[in-house]
Amino acid sequence: MLNQDEINNLISCPKLVENSEPSKGMNIEKRSQRKNLELKAAQGKHLFRVFIRQSTELLEDFSIGLTYRSGDKETGSLTLIRFNGNHGEADWSKDGHYSSFHIHRITEDLLEQGIREPKETEITTRYSTLEEALAEFFNEISLENWLGYFPELRQLPLMVTVEGQK
Amino acid sequence: MSQVIEIVKKGFDGQVDFYERRAGLWQLIFPVFHEDGDMIDIFVSSSPTKNGWVRIKDMGLTLMRLSYVFEVNTPTKERILETLLVQNGVMEDEGEFYLDSPPDMVLPKCDAICRLSAKGLQYEAMAKGYYQVFVL
């Protein structure tokens, strides 16, 4: 089982996009826009997958996640971190995350409890659109060559970086 | 539609609320959660086919969530999904799970969508051969 340091290192280790499906833009399928990226650690053999989803009707409802593909039977594939949009303006969650832009993370404590869903949540003001969330997410997971796959975001990282330094 | 919403809220005995997410589209606010702590996504609107009835639906968000880790992209997987829909009496339209109900019957119908949504997310295990474990 992964410990917290290993989880943190897997999220932050430098990564490269190996493949993108579709290569440009997003597929529209079953009422959501979808894109998947296959990633490889810049050093070492770790493999990852990024999924990007956005509801076609509720645009604020989006999700960007990093899944670790361990290749190990016990660990399997595990979603380490997910940047979410908001799911409406009212909710019943204790911390109010459901109606806010929020980030889900897996933790060592969750894995020890047998929970494999990234249940630890944090409300964030780091982004307010899918495009801003993508730039923040790619920085968070140290993805090195993402601009080549998202040329439409070329102007965005500067804005996000400036915001992040405030 | 507002009158219908009031009837539905009364049927839930004040245990739920509705919030108008878009014009004519109401989101059910209630304490039923996915394993990651997010609330299950249920919406209601006027039924487009039955006058005075309500359409209960998930706006395609169950299959979107499932696709984070699992795609329904083979005949076998589609057959399992169809079986789940039939078992729960739920219809599907381009990825949206829905069913129509008279206003005073919304509570049990919402329950069917919730069970399907929760069960749909156990779908990965089902499609891998553990199907019988989860079929009620």
Q: What is the DSSP string of B64-78?
A: HHHTTT----SHHHH
A73 CB within 8 Å of a chain B CB:
no
Q: List chain A residues with CB under 8 Å of B33.
A: 93
Among A13-17, A37-41, A114-118, which is the least confidently predicted range?
A: A114-118
Residue with structure tokens 């409300």? Answer: A123
Count of positions (residues) in chain A? 166
- CA-based nearest residue in chain A for residue B33: A93
Q: Cα separations (Å) of B8 from B96, B100, B107?
A: 22, 13, 8
**Which chain A residues are within 8 Å of B128, Cβ to Cβ?**
none
Q: Per the CB < 8 Å rule, is A53 touching B59? A: no
The band of A157, judged by pLDDT with boundaries at 50, 70 and 90, is: low
- Contact list in B for residue A32 (CB cut-off 8 A) is 60, 63-64, 67, 95
* Phi-psi category of residue B70: left, alpha or beta, with phi > 0 → left and psi -120 to 50 → alpha: beta
DSSP state of A143: B
Asked if residue A24 has pLDDT above 70, the reply is yes
Binned average pLDDT, 10 residues per bin, chain B of 136 residues: 76 78 89 82 92 92 90 86 84 93 82 71 45 28
Check: complex ipTM more than 0.90 = no
Q: Mark yes or no for CB contact A58/B65 under 8 Å.
A: no
- Report residue A137's pLDDT band, with 50, 70 and 90 as the boundaries: very high
- Given a cut of 90, is residue A13 above it in pLDDT? yes
- Mean pLDDT value across residues A4-14: 97
Q: pTM for the full model?
A: 0.88
d(CA A140, CA A121): 16
Question: CB of A102 within 8 A of CB of A123?
Answer: yes
- In angstroms, the CA A75 to CA B82 distance is 30
- Token duo for residue B88: 């729960």
CA proximity to B41, closest of B61, B25, B24: B61
